[in-house]
Amino acid sequence: MDNFVRDKLTEWNFSEYIDRFKDEEIDKESFLLLDEKAFANLIPKLGPRYKFQEKHKAAAPSISPQGKRKNPPTFPSTSTPPKQPCFSKPTQPTSKFERQAMKAAETCVTQVLEKLKTLPKKEFIDYLKGKMTKLRTGVKNKVLVGVFGKTGAGKSSLINAILGEPNCLPNGANISACTSVMIQVEANMTNYSYEAEIEFISKKEWEDDIKSHQDVMSDENDNKNEELVRVATAKIQAFYGKYGVGKSLKDLMKGEHFREIPEFLSPTNTVKMISCGTASELSGKIACYTRSDNKMEVKHYWPLVKCVTIKVPNTKELLEHIVLLDLPGTGDCNKTRDNMWKSHLSQCSSVWIVNDIQRAASEREPWMILESSFSYLIQGGECENITFICTKTDDINPKNYLGSPVLKNTELHLDLEKKGAAERKRGCIQHRNEQAKIMLGERFNDEVVKKKPFIQMEKIFQVFTVSAEEFQNDENPILEQEQTEIPQLKQVLEDMNERHSKTAVKDYISGVYGILSLIKAANSNDSTMVEMKSNMYQLLKDSLEEQLSTITSLMTKHYNDLKKLLSEGVANSKKSCLQIAKEKVITPEARKDGRGYHRTLSSLCRNKGFCRSTNGDITDLNKTLAESMYAAINEKFALIFPNAGTTGESIYKKICNFSIISDNMAKEWENTPMSLYLMFLTTEENFLKDKLKRDVLLRKKVIYESLTDEVQIIMCPCYEEASKISGKGTLKKTQELLVKHIDSSKNPMFDNAQKKMLEGFENLREYIEQTLRTELLESLKRSLKTPNSLSLPDVSEQLENMETYKMLALRERTSQI
What pLDDT, on a 0 to 100 scale, did the predictor assign at position 331? 55
What pLDDT, on a 0 to 100 scale, did the predictor assign at position 68? 32
The tens digit of pLDDT for each residue in 593-615 reads 556 677 788 889 988 999 887 66
The 3-state DSSP class for residue 161 equals helix
CA-to-CA distance for 454 and 126, rounded, in angstroms? 49
What pLDDT, on a 0 to 100 scale, did the predictor assign at position 63? 47
Is 174:295 a contact under the CB 8 Å cutoff?
yes
Is 133:510 a contact under the CB 8 Å cutoff?
no
| Nearest-5° Cα angle at 86, 83 to 90 | 135
The 3-state DSSP class for residue 204 equals helix
Q: Work out the burial of residue 182: count CB atoms within 10 Å of its CB; fewer than 13 is exposed, 13-18 middle, 19 or more buried.
A: buried
What pLDDT, on a 0 to 100 scale, did the predictor assign at position 489? 95
Supply the DSSP string of 105-140, one letter for each residue: HHHHHHHHHHHHHTSPP-HHHHHHHHHHHHHHH--P
The 3-state DSSP class for residue 457 equals coil
| Ramachandran angles phi, psi of 724, nearest 5° | -90, -10
CA-to-CA distance for 788 and 113, rounded, in angstroms? 20
What pLDDT, on a 0 to 100 scale, did the predictor assign at position 93? 39
CA-to-CA distance for 445 and 260, rounded, in angstroms? 51
As a whole number, mean pLDDT of residues 464-482 equals 93
As a whole number, mean pLDDT of residues 779-788 equals 88
Q: What is the DSSP letter of 89?
A: P
- Whole-number average pLDDT of the chain: 84
What pLDDT, on a 0 to 100 scale, did the predictor assign at position 296? 54
As a whole number, mean pLDDT of residues 637-652 equals 84
Is 80 exceeded by the pLDDT of residue 795? yes
Cβ-proximal residues to 2 (8 Å cutoff; 6+ apart), any chain: 27, 28
The tens digit of pLDDT for each residue in 138-159 reads 656 899 999 988 777 888 899 9
Summary count for the chain: helices (H), strands (E): 32, 13
The 3-state DSSP class for residue 63 equals helix
Is 222:199 a contact under the CB 8 Å cutoff?
no
Cβ-proximal residues to 623 (8 Å cutoff; 6+ apart), any chain: 375, 630, 708, 711
User: Taking the CA atoms of the chain, what radius of gyration do you get in angstroms?
Assistant: 31
As a whole number, mean pLDDT of residues 720-736 equals 88
CA-to-CA distance for 524 and 665, rounded, in angstroms? 21
4-8 contacts, C-beta under 8 A, 24 or more apart? 4/28, 4/31, 5/31, 8/59
CA-to-CA distance for 35 and 38, rounded, in angstroms? 5
Cβ-proximal residues to 423 (8 Å cutoff; 6+ apart), any chain: 78, 80, 416
CA-to-CA distance for 81 and 74, rounded, in angstroms? 7
Instruction: Read off the amino acid at residue 195.
Output: E
The tens digit of pLDDT for each residue in 9-54 reads 888 888 888 888 888 888 877 787 787 667 877 887 766 776 787 7
Is 70 exceeded by the pLDDT of residue 79? no
Cβ-proximal residues to 738 (8 Å cutoff; 6+ apart), any chain: 581, 586, 601, 621, 718, 722
Is 80 exceeded by the pLDDT of residue 453? no
